[in-house]
Amino acid sequence: MKRPAAPGYSAFMSSKPYAARRAQLAERLRAAGSGVALLPTAPERPRNADSDHPYRHDSHFHHLTDFDEPQAWLVLRSDGHSTLFCRPADPEHAVWHGHRLGTEAAPEVLGVDAALPIGSLNEAMPALLAGQGAVWFPFGRHPELPGQIEGWLATLRTQERRGIECPTQCRDLHPLIAEMRLVKDAGELATMRRAASISAAAHRRAMRYCAQRFRQGASAVHEYEIEAELLHEFRRHGAQSTAYPSIVAAGANACVLHHPAGPARLLPDELCLVDAGCELDGYASDITRTFPANGCFSGPQRTLYELVLAAQQAAIDATRPGLRQRDAHHAAVRVLAQGLLDLGLLSRETHGGVDDVIASAAYRAFYMHGTGHWLGRDVHDVGEYLSQGEAPIEQPDGLGGTVVKRPSRVLCPGMVVTLEPGLYVRPAPGVPERYWNIGIRVEDDAIVTDSGCELISRGVPVEPDEIEAWMRD
């Protein structure tokens, strides 16, 4: 529904999804014994002198408010009443830094029940806490918050003799909101598809840029040049920022899992690993592609690439409702373990068969991370990975032994995961030299659907022949 626009806010923004989320959280508070939830947004962070880092809201806060200004708090009671504390509108400030929404416009624009100036927080909060059984706030995310709450409660305790009840419990709000965020609604999924599309275009641009540079006679391309192509494409299509620091790894640097783009030179016969994604309207994308700098895989490069791609396909096949989040990893590991034996990177005489390689975790010399993670507002998004309602069972510990722990949780439609197997071959005794210094990772973003999963990042080529064809054009 169209509503009045405040300066800097679209008249066609809808507060309905955020009001529904607040109502859902209030219901969870009631189910847990009632109380009041306190949630500040992220602080502004100084960069140097009088300059701040680009501001980014707190993900929990934005998920419930759609408000991305700093110095703001949400107070939500279990009866559903919501109060926003924010900065007042300030015409003089607007001349220098732009318009603020302000307390007068906030209820209409954001759909909250009341808005108060942030300067009144300490004065108003004791009354908002009065009569509540518990205070809910995210533990460990705002270091100063427990002290602030204790101060407000201390003020309330002085009024208990007048019959004003003071909360008697402090409880962690994070798990309640994390579970809400784990399953995405239709609007969230639409935004994530768009973010993945923008990121895929950036990866295509990076591939073609490298091929063109080498066709033009360049002897090398710097990692930071490739990063610049990514950033240009992100912003050109409206993404507000990167979702995480971009990884651009030339040659042997691809064997460093989180290698930042730097001055290293990518040579024509090397592979380039790019792990980069944009953030769009508060939602992350996360894509990795590995491609030949000059547009043509060598024999050993293609062999390892096809093995990683086969492992990813096994993970894709294991990503559907009813299966567990960890099943994709187990499926990918089995394919990689078999391939490592077949290619001679692991010796059957030393390591045995596939089951032995998995049980001893010998594959971890070449593949040392998991196959995926939750994706959403954060690139490593919130939500429990382990089942909450099942008894612990004995599981492999990845080191040749076992550990008793809960199984991973069952997937359901609306969850979003990454699927990202890889191989990283460093020079080592017994490792065929033709594979040395080859690092490969292939990563896509997948929405769990009713019947399987939807890969929303396949706008960038992934098959080796498709990569080579794209880079030739």
Q: Taking the CA atoms of 249, 253, 256 and 259 in sequence, report the sign of the dihedral they define.
A: negative
The two three-digit tokens of residue 38, written as one number: 């306190």
The verdict on whether 441 is a catalytic residue reads yes
| Nearest partner of 276 among 291, 286, 263, 266, judged by Cα | 286
The two three-digit tokens of residue 163, written as one number: 């019959």
The verdict on whether 369 is a catalytic residue reads yes
Cβ(137)–Cβ(145) below 8 Å = yes
Residues in the chain, overall count: 473
The verdict on whether 87 is a catalytic residue reads no
The verdict on whether 258 is a catalytic residue reads yes
Catalytic residue among 225, 233, 270, 286: 286
The verdict on whether 275 is a catalytic residue reads yes
The verdict on whether 232 is a catalytic residue reads no
Cβ(457)–Cβ(469) below 8 Å = no
The verdict on whether 93 is a catalytic residue reads no
Please give the single-letter amino acid code of residue 12: F
Strands, DSSP E only, in 21-113?
A: 36-40, 46-48, 51-52, 73-77, 82-86
pLDDT on residue 1? 34
Distance of CA 114 to CAs 105, 124, 132, Å?
10, 12, 18
The verdict on whether 281 is a catalytic residue reads no
Catalytic residue among 69, 443, 444, 445: 443
The domain covering 16-180 belongs, at the CATH homologous superfamily level, to: Creatinase/prolidase N-terminal domain (3.40.350.10)
pLDDT on residue 9? 55
Task: Give CA–CA dist 473/471, Å, rounded.
Answer: 6
The verdict on whether 185 is a catalytic residue reads no
Kindly give the pairing relationship between strand 82-86 and strand 114-117. parallel
pLDDT on residue 163? 80
Helix (H, G, I), strand (E, B) or coil at 355: helix
**103, containing H or E segment:** helix 102-110
Catalytic residue among 320, 351, 373, 409: 373
* pLDDT in single tens digits along all 473 residues of the chain: 334 445 555 444 578 999 999 999 999 999 998 899 999 999 999 999 999 999 999 999 999 999 999 999 999 999 999 999 999 999 999 999 999 999 999 999 999 999 999 999 999 999 999 999 999 999 999 999 999 999 999 999 998 778 888 999 999 999 999 999 999 999 999 999 999 999 999 999 999 999 999 999 999 999 999 999 999 999 999 999 999 999 999 999 999 999 999 999 999 999 999 999 999 999 999 999 999 999 999 999 999 999 999 999 999 999 999 999 999 999 999 999 999 999 999 999 999 999 999 999 999 999 999 999 999 999 999 999 999 888 888 877 766 677 888 899 999 999 999 999 999 999 999 999 999 999 999 999 999 999 999 999 999 999 999 999 999 98
Sheet with strand 247-250: strands edge to edge = 247-250, 271-276, 287-292
Task: Give CA–CA dist 432/366, Å, rounded.
Answer: 13
The pTM of the full predicted model, rounded to 2 decimals, is: 0.94
Catalytic residue among 53, 364, 380, 472: 380
pLDDT on residue 3? 43
pLDDT on residue 13? 57
Domain ranges for the chain, please list them: 16-180, 183-472
Q: Has domain 183-472 been given CATH number 3.90.230.10?
A: yes
